[in-house]
Chains A and B, each alone.
Chain A
């Protein structure tokens, strides 16, 4: 699924370069320029892709995080322990 997410992110970047609406002046609903509407939808699509990424391709190991947040070592000791 990680690869699917990265493909979707790459797709967002490609879709961002929308040459197809570059000089199209039509208005949707009589007020919304189609080029602007397209990019507004792209913002929503970006949110959807990021939602998927947080569900299926979270970049850190939650178990490791739990152990970290429970650690109470003082800063210098923690850094020395890691060295």
Chain B
């Protein structure tokens, strides 16, 4: 019950923040979708970090370390520290400049004009929406699963309870959807940025607090260092190394974080920046923030493999963090233990919601800008009509996502990694559009088709995500190298983009002058 009360208070706080940010709303569509380009460095850092980190940063990192050992940090975290900042630096700053210059709100607007082609806009719109929806579903389903898990057995017989006595998944998902919808609906991008910043602070602080409490709970010593030493020295050697991890998979996994460079919701956050200089803090601090969140969770994950933790063998890896907080917080903090468990649950939900809000807003913006405003003929819509249209689309998207989440799709989590691979396949197109004058519309089509075809073939060969550890095996010089499917998709995309661009006529001088002015 304590957990539920704390989570309810947290959600109420978020609603208050969303409604407050509505008071700052300036009544224009640019303010609703891009916060009038007013977001400074700190808010940009927090909102970008919150958007790129999902529940996986807390729950998944602990669960993966519990399964695979400390190598998970190098595989998923330090790689993201290098690559995410690279995307902000290489793609984000340039796109912000063009976005300010030509008043873009979406990626599709940019690609349409850079490639002098209508069709590519339609194809990219469909692809981007199709890739974001499973990502959204993961968040909605995860929020239901988290709430159900932490309240298990507490509400037996209550009308809103599931069979296990926890809050029914669909009710929890519905409540989270409604809370996010409310603050996005009223607050727009400004509300989303503020909520993201707040939620990022919440999940970062609670992650660190949980780490300290769990260390004390496991070690039973007086000092923090002694507790960590006792816990780490009890871990089996295989969890402290990467002896069971393939080096070629480790290397090719580096491509997955490139997906950030094509996320439409990250693009929209980039455009909110007050100035190009606002990007400097996010670029520098992002790897440090990843370190702060991931390193403690990875250590907790490997400590959980020891007998000190007492994790039941049947517990799924993603339940490890919740289990340890629940069991160790009471041992260390006494009666205050359930409060920490409740706060951590709020932190996990914060990580989920800080991605969901941006994705809802960006899909609403894309439908309004790329479809309605682009294809509408006749009298232009007023600013307020555009805001109402975006709000209407956001309500519809939240409703559709929630309804899809009711359809039990057991492989949606595996589908997430495949979505990232699809975004990574489109990344060469973003870089080429910004830095390569010779890129043509035909080259862009070829890249998109190559991404789609290679993705589909590999997805089919993986049994439609049924084989979770599916790899593409290359035989070179008598050795077999396992690689992530994303590597094949990425290479197909680049090859098609370069070859077809070089054999087709270059873009017009006018377009080149527009996107590659002499001064740059």
Question: Complex: how many Å from CA A37 to CA B73?
Answer: 10
- Is the Cβ of A29 less than 8 Å from the Cβ of B225? yes
- Is the Cβ of B233 less than 8 Å from the Cβ of A30? yes
What's the tally of chain B residues with a CB closer than 8 Å to chain A? 61
B240 in the interface (beta carbon within 8 A) = yes
Closest to A80 in B: B102
List of A residues within 8 angstroms of B78 by Cβ: 16, 39-40, 42-43, 46
Between A and B, how many residue pairs show CB distances below 8 Å? 153
Question: Complex: how many Å from CA A40 to CA B280?
Answer: 21
Contact with B along A27-59 (1 / 0, CB 8 A): 101111101100110111011001101100011
- Is the Cβ of B82 less than 8 Å from the Cβ of A46? yes
- Is the Cβ of B77 less than 8 Å from the Cβ of A39? yes
Contact with B along A54-71 (1 / 0, CB 8 A): 100011111011001101
Q: List 14 A-B contacts (CB under 8 A).
A: A17-B250, A22-B242, A22-B245, A22-B247, A25-B237, A27-B232, A30-B233, A33-B232, A35-B241, A36-B295, A47-B284, A50-B286, A53-B89, A76-B103
Among the interface residues B102, B229, B520, which one has the most CB atoms of the partner chain A within 10 A? B102
Among the interface residues B237, B287, B510, which one has the most CB atoms of the partner chain A within 10 A? B287
B398 in the interface (beta carbon within 8 A) = no
List of A residues within 8 angstroms of B299 by Cβ: 36
List of A residues within 8 angstroms of B231 by Cβ: 31
Residues of B within 8 A of A (CB): 30, 37, 70-71, 73-74, 77-79, 81-82, 85-86, 89-90, 93-94, 97, 100-103, 113, 225, 228-229, 231-233, 237, 240-243, 245, 247, 250-251, 254, 275-277, 279-280, 283-288, 290-291, 295, 298-299, 302, 510, 514, 517, 519-520
Tell me if A's interface is mostly helix, strand, loop or mixed: helix
- Is the Cβ of A33 less than 8 Å from the Cβ of B90? no
Find B283's partner among A13, A33, A54, A68 (CB 8 Å cutoff): A54
Tell me if B's interface is mostly helix, strand, loop or mixed: helix
- Is the Cβ of B520 less than 8 Å from the Cβ of A23? no
- Is the Cβ of B290 less than 8 Å from the Cβ of A50? no
Question: Complex: how many Å from CA A82 to CA B517?
Answer: 11
Closest to A5 in B: B89
Question: Complex: how many Å from CA A54 to CA B102?
Answer: 24
Closest to B435 in A: A59
Question: Complex: how many Å from CA A59 to CA B228?
Answer: 43
The minimal Cβ–Cβ distance linking A53 to chain B, given in whole angstroms, is 6
- Known contacts: A35-B70, A46-B82, A59-B89. The answer to whether A17 contacts B251 by CB under 8 A is yes
List of A residues within 8 angstroms of B298 by Cβ: 36
The minimal Cβ–Cβ distance linking A48 to chain B, given in whole angstroms, is 8
- Known contacts: A13-B82, A47-B285. The answer to whether A65 contacts B70 by CB under 8 A is no
List of A residues within 8 angstroms of B291 by Cβ: 40, 43-44
- Known contacts: A13-B254, A22-B247, A79-B102. The answer to whether A53 contacts B225 by CB under 8 A is no
- Is the Cβ of B79 less than 8 Å from the Cβ of A16? yes
Closest to B75 in A: A39
Closest to B303 in A: A31
- Is the Cβ of B241 less than 8 Å from the Cβ of A23? yes
- Is the Cβ of B73 less than 8 Å from the Cβ of A36? yes
The minimal Cβ–Cβ distance linking A18 to chain B, given in whole angstroms, is 7
List of A residues within 8 angstroms of B79 by Cβ: 16
